[in-house]
Amino acid sequence: MSRLLSTKEVARHLGVNEKMVYSLISEKGLPASKVTGKWVFPQHLVDQWVEAHTINLAAKPGAFMSAEELLIISGSNDPLLEQTIGLYNGLYPERLAVFGNVGSVGGIRGLKQGLCHIATSHLLQEKDEEYNFEAVGELLNPVPVVVNFCRRRQGLIVAKGNPRRIGRTSDLGQPGLRLVNRKLGTGTRQLLDRELSRAGLNGDQISGYTHEVQRHMDVGLAVLGGKADAGPGIQPVAELLGLDFMAWRWERYDLLIQRERFFDQSVQLLLGLLHESRFQRLAEEFQGYDLSMSGKMVFPKPQTSTENNPSPKPKEES
């Protein structure tokens, strides 16, 4: 055990008077414990506390992570992905995974610019059967490796009990309904606009259509807080917040990885988690996820030319 200092000793150690020590305990979080009515201070924790409160500390050479230890993911956000990044960081404390929430298109652009190692995307293509390849083909050459993270159920998040009786997209046109929306460049906004067009609705005529938020969770919180009656999002968020949900479709949420980075150890460690039971257990906390394709390579197809039929067509569910 580390040496324990008395109040007098810690005051001397810090160069302050004893009264100041008590103030540091209550106001600054100086590490201390009471033993038989007296304050004692583990010296190693006191020293760490001093270091943590040091300002203008010069960086030591080599103090920053190397590029191999840092994993940058950007694109469309997802609660299960956030949980998985937390799992990764807990399992590999010598490494660090971080996420930038910039939407699907932003993630693909970041991958093109070399700003991230992995982009996350769920951009629905024109014929409603495939995801991501049209956008990737326009912005990236060659096409990156595509690995499925999960499939998710997309639709409308609505208030508990569905007081607006929203049963189909056209119901968003009822008078006085307030919508909350996602930003341009996100797959969810793209899907909403497509569904509105099919229902013969003009988004600009719906109150709140221009009220844009960053995350699926922000949509859910706006509905939960009564600031909106509905908003596009994924079922896991609705379930997590105790809200109702009107489904549109299952979608594929993919990880896009530049080919030259695919075998980086940090990338492989993250992909490895998608095949583990602890990842499965994380998903069990939510409803609206399908992990049947998780960790599987969508492009290039195994034992198939990358020039022909670039990706499988996952079965959609109503």
| pLDDT surpassing 50 at residue 156 | yes
How confident is the model over 137-153, as a mean pLDDT? 90
Q: What is the mean pLDDT of the chain?
A: 87
- Dihedral sign from CA coordinates of 133, 134, 139, 141: positive
Is residue 76 within 8 A of residue 104, CB to CB? The reply is yes
Residue with tokens 């095949």: 275
Which DSSP helix (H) or strand (E) runs through 313?
none
- Distance between CA atoms of residues 27 and 150, nearest Å: 46
Q: Residue 43: its pLDDT value, please?
A: 86
Strand partners, 146: 256, 299
Q: Residue 268: its pLDDT value, please?
A: 96
Q: Residue 51: its pLDDT value, please?
A: 72
The tokens of 59 are what? 């960086």
How confident is the model over 72-89, as a mean pLDDT? 95
Q: What is the value of pTM for the model shown?
A: 0.73
Phi, psi for 316 (deg, rounded to 5): -90, 150
- What does DSSP say about strands 289-290 and 118-121: parallel, antiparallel, or unpaired? unpaired
List helix spans (H) across 155-296: 187-198, 216-224, 235-241, 265-273, 277-283
Which DSSP helix (H) or strand (E) runs through 146?
strand 145-158
Lowest mean pLDDT among 28-32, 95-99, 186-190, 203-207: 28-32
| pLDDT surpassing 70 at residue 12 | yes
Q: Residue 36: its pLDDT value, please?
A: 82
How confident is the model over 215-222, as a mean pLDDT? 96
Q: Please give the residue that has the higher pLDDT: either 62 or 261.
A: 261
Percent of the chain clearing pLDDT 90 (strictly above) = 66
Is residue 214 within 8 A of residue 220, CB to CB? The reply is no
Q: How many CA atoms lie within 13 A of 300 on its CB side?
A: 12
How confident is the model over 10-36, as a mean pLDDT? 84
Is residue 106 within 8 A of residue 75, CB to CB? The reply is yes
What would the pLDDT profile of 33-63 be if each residue is shown by its tens digit? 877 878 888 888 888 778 766 655 555 555 5
Q: Residue 146: its pLDDT value, please?
A: 95
| pLDDT surpassing 60 at residue 20 | yes
In order of their start, the domains of the chain are 4-51 (1.10.10), 67-151+252-299 (3.40.190.10), 154-250 (3.40.190.10)
| pLDDT surpassing 90 at residue 136 | no
Q: Residue 308: its pLDDT value, please?
A: 43
Percent of the chain clearing pLDDT 70 (strictly above) = 88
| pLDDT surpassing 80 at residue 318 | no
| pLDDT surpassing 60 at residue 197 | yes
How confident is the model over 218-225, as a mean pLDDT? 96
Q: Residue 82: its pLDDT value, please?
A: 95
Q: Please give the residue that has the higher pLDDT: either 42 or 96.
A: 96
Task: With cut-offs at 50, 70 and 90, classify the pLDDT of residue 193.
Answer: very high
Residue 67 has a CB neighbour count (10 Å cut-off) of 11
Q: Residue 183: its pLDDT value, please?
A: 94
Task: With cut-offs at 50, 70 and 90, classify the pLDDT of residue 66.
Answer: low
The residues, any chain, with a CB within 8 Å of residue 264's CB and separated by 6 or more, are 68, 117
